[in-house]
Amino acid sequence: VTSTVTYLASQPKTQPLLVEIVPPLIGCMCTMAHSYLSFDVSPGSSALTAWSSCYDSLVSKDLLMILQSLNYVLAMLLIPESTAVAAASNNSTAPVQSSRLRSFFKDIFQTSDLPPEVTPPPPPPPGSSDIVRDALLRELPAVMSLLIRVWGPPSLKSAKSPSAQSRRKSSMSSPSSERGIKLPLDAQQDETHNKYMLQDQILQIVEPIFITYPGHVLKSLLKYWKFTPARDMEEGVMSSHNTSEAALTKKIIVELLTTLLATPASVDALFKAATQLLHQLHLITHQQHVTATNTNTSTAPVPAKNVPATSQVSGRVIDIEDKDIVLVDLLAALTLNRATQLTTLELLDLFVPFLKQVVYTRSPYAFIHSLHMLHLYVQSCASSLNSPKTDKKKLKALGDVTQKMIEGCLYFACQSFGALVGDLNNEIVLGNVLSPQALAISVEHSTDTLTPTAASFVVVEPDGKYRSRARFFH
Amino acid sequence: VLTNHVTELKRTAKDSLNRTRVSLSSLRALLKSMNPLLDKVFYDKDRVTQITSLVLQNIWPYVKGRLVLPGQIMTPLHKEISVKLIESWLTLPNSIKTWKKDVLDYFYALNIGAAEGSGASPSASAQQDFFACSVKTLHNWMPIVAHIMADKSTFADLLSK
């Protein structure tokens, strides 16, 4: 695969063929790798045993070879030269580590039948067009599905084994001379080491793509993230009792992302991508709402100011439509998992802008989880928030968004006595909807935008009494 | 027609169940996170008062437990969590003035005022409202009432009533 792609990319005449040949090749590699991993992960099955069998020497070797080929192709055709150079300089110790890992593998396998040394991919060919890049990015969900499966369940690690993130941190901070490979003592350790080897390879694939195209990686992961409303956030993702396939996948995604977020640049990329995605989703919802309203009133559509046309927006994010709660759910689980690593800088510069987008969501659980995340952040950063050095403007923004989150939760808390009214796309309505007078006003002016599933709603009169005003059914 | 009616009823029931679940989750989230956020994020205490006042205004129907209109849903948990939320504000000294009067009025008007048998007293069913709740909710009321009664004049007023 690597020879074919290198040859095609090196010849100007064959470069146009890349778009036709490379995506199917990647698909084939994913199918091949999946053939090692096609076991049942449903509750009650012996999924963990099956998973651990994937980390025996022979299967690991094959999987590693496939992952290395994937890494080569994706790095060559997806990653711009500057990013590749930066990543290489950040991981200047990688070749040393790679050679040590290879010697380690030789020790384990006791065989010369090892994956061939993969040389660093050449810089992307000048002719590698946006078409090839877009075609590869369309294959990203399939690649991520494979990587999630190969990564394996977090429960496999023993208490003595370091987490992927701590291994990664130590490998980034300690000098290369101190990073020796410990030889395994038994079969279980063999599997653990093989698993770590594969996970390191996965990180080598994902990290540069994540830094360059965080939105695409995030969207790909969201495809495999199943939202399940839980009473408390802790009962949702992180519950160790839940062994269904969806729950295992969520745990793996959280561990993978947590490991990726070891550097501030990755955290920055993640939050900016999440904020952008949420913004795009809300633009689509807003456009749909405007279109529906215009259709109902039989008036000519009036494009909203500063809002791109629906086709432009939906062309970019149509595949993640109605996924705002899934995105918030993913970030909430991630925040819970890295509760000890949250910083004031992250809170004020990255999380607050994200919350400003959450305000426009229609999902109650997005508000509930966001409030919980905010609580975790503030709890972690309480001491530095008091510091006089903290930017007052940012603190004010934090206060504003905190108030909106509380109001949002209150709004949904009062649903059961019928206060589910108003248009949540409108920040002004949401911001004021909870005071009795403002609620009455918003109802008076927005009866045509009531949710069609509301059985009834109540208007708060100026004297503070609640009066039933209407019933709406589908 | 009957099938349609049953389908409609099922949908309405499901919708009610979802709304109840969402409202309980939201109340729990407020109970868990609101107080620490108010304490650590807002240095302007007037804003804390404003927010607690807003929240109180909206959860008060749950506290009173008097939702009688069609389509309204309330479980004992709504009342329990709402009272617990008010209890949690005891640690926010500035917010106490926002809810003290409402709680005291509710406590006096529906119980002691009625016991006097005056013409202006609430109905017999309303008399039981304050205590018509689970034992857990009563336990949540205890520190609130105790805090209010810690003020000598309020306690003297209670004794005089």
User: Per residue in A354-388, pLDDT tens?
Assistant: 999 888 887 888 899 999 999 999 999 888 887 88
At residue A444, the pLDDT reads 30
- List the 173-232 stretch of A: residues with Cβ below 8 A of B: 229, 231-232
Position with higher pLDDT, A348 vs A163: A348
Mean pLDDT of A405-429: 60
Contacts of A436 in chain B (CB under 8 A): 57
More confident residue, A420 or A162: A162
In A, which residues are within 8 Å of B66 by CB distance? Answer: none
Q: What per-residue confidence (pLDDT) applies to B152?
A: 84
Indicate the range of A364-378, A383-397, A432-446 predicted with least confidence: A432-446
d(CA A47, CA A60): 17
pLDDT band at residue A322 under the 50/70/90 scheme? low
Q: Supply the pLDDT for residue A440.
A: 28
CB-nearest partner of A382 from B25, B34, B40: B40
Q: Best interface-test mutation with B: which of A416, A439, A450 has the largest number of B CBs within 10 A?
A: A416
Nearest to A412 among B22, B40, B61 (CB): B22
pLDDT, position A235 = 52
User: Worst-scoring range by mean pLDDT, A294-308, A338-352, A437-451?
Assistant: A437-451
Residue bearing the bigger pLDDT, A238 or A27: A27
CA dist B64 and B103 (Å) reads 10
Instruction: Give the span between the Cα atoms of A227 and A41, in whole angstroms.
Output: 18
Pick from B46, B49, B72 the residue to mutate for testing the A interface (most A CBs within 10 Å): B72
The per-residue pLDDT for range B75-132, each reduced to its tens digit, is 888 889 999 999 999 888 778 888 888 888 888 765 554 444 444 444 444 455 777 7
Q: Chain B contact for A474, CB < 8 A?
A: yes
In this prediction, residue A106 has a pLDDT band, given cuts at 50, 70 and 90, of very low
**What is the ipTM score, two decimals?**
0.85
Q: Are A25 and A1 in contact (CB under 8 A)?
A: yes
Rg (C-alpha) for chain A, rounded Å, is: 25
Contacts of A402 in chain B (CB under 8 A): 37, 41-42
Which helix (H) or strand (E) segment holds residue A467: the answer is strand A466-470
- The separation between the first and the last C-alpha atoms of chain A, rounded to the nearest angstrom, is 55
Burial of A178 (0-12, 13-18, 19+ CB in 10 A): exposed
**Structure tokens, A296:** 């109902």
Report d(CA A455, CA A466) in Å as an integer.
Answer: 16
| Statement: residue A175 has pLDDT above 50 | no
Q: Which chain B residues are within 8 Å of A364, Cβ to Cβ?
A: 22, 25-26
- Secondary structure (DSSP) of A93-128: THHHHHHHHHHHHHHHH-SS-PPPPPPPPPPPPTT-
Query: Which tens digits make up the pLDDT trace of A14-72?
Result: 778 888 888 899 999 999 888 887 666 655 556 666 666 677 778 888 889 999 999 99
Cβ pairs bridging A and B (under 8 Å): 138
Q: Check residue A36 and give its pLDDT.
A: 83
